[in-house]
């Protein structure tokens, strides 16, 4: 092989390596952005579920207390409180399930609260 072809092959190999390194950096940046979006969605859903749950429990607690003479209203308020508690347990279990399915090697779980990332 002539000398100029050897340099050409060396140049092509070096440029391929630079392209691979650049693609790896872009992949890591994309993964960081995806993890950031997932973290934001996670926090938003947890806060919304907790806030709505607390609000409904408070309202139904007041309804239960205020309906001293109406057994139907007390029963309805008690059922609503139980349903909210069941919903909050389901949300908590969903968070644990996400932490189990999403491996720590993905890099997204390390920023989540300790009780989820330690599952």
How confident is the model at residue 76, as a pLDDT?
A: 92
> Residues with Cβ < 8 Å from 77, sequence gap 6 or more?
60, 61, 63, 64, 67
| Cα distances (angstroms) measured from residue 99 to each of 28, 41, 92, 117 | 20, 14, 11, 6
| Number of structural domains in the chain | 1
Residue 105 or 11, more confident: 11
Q: Which of 23-32, 33-42, 109-118 has the highest mean pLDDT?
A: 33-42
Q: Which domain holds residue 52?
A: 3-117
Residue 32 or 72, more confident: 72
**In whole numbers, what is the pLDDT of the chain averaged over residues?**
75
What would the mean pLDDT of 17-28 be, rounded to a whole number? 60
What would the mean pLDDT of 33-60 be, rounded to a whole number? 84
The overall pTM is greater than 0.85: no
Is the sign of the CA dihedral 57, 58, 60, 62 positive or negative?
Answer: positive
């Amino acid at each position: 092989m002539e000398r100029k072809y050897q340099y050409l092959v060396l140049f092509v190999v070096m440029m391929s390596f630079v392209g691979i390194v650049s693609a790896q950096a872009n992949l890591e940046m994309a993964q960081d952005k995806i993890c950031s979006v997932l973290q934001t969605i996670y926090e938003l859903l947890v806060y919304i579920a907790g806030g709505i749950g607390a609000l409904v429990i408070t309202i139904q607690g007041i309804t239960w207390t205020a309906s001293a003479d109406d057994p139907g209203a007390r029963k309805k308020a008690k059922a609503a409180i139980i349903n909210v508690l069941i919903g909050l347990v389901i949300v908590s279990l969903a968070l644990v399930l996400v932490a189990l399915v999403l491996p720590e090697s993905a890099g997204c779980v390390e920023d989540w609260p300790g009780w989820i990332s330690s599952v």
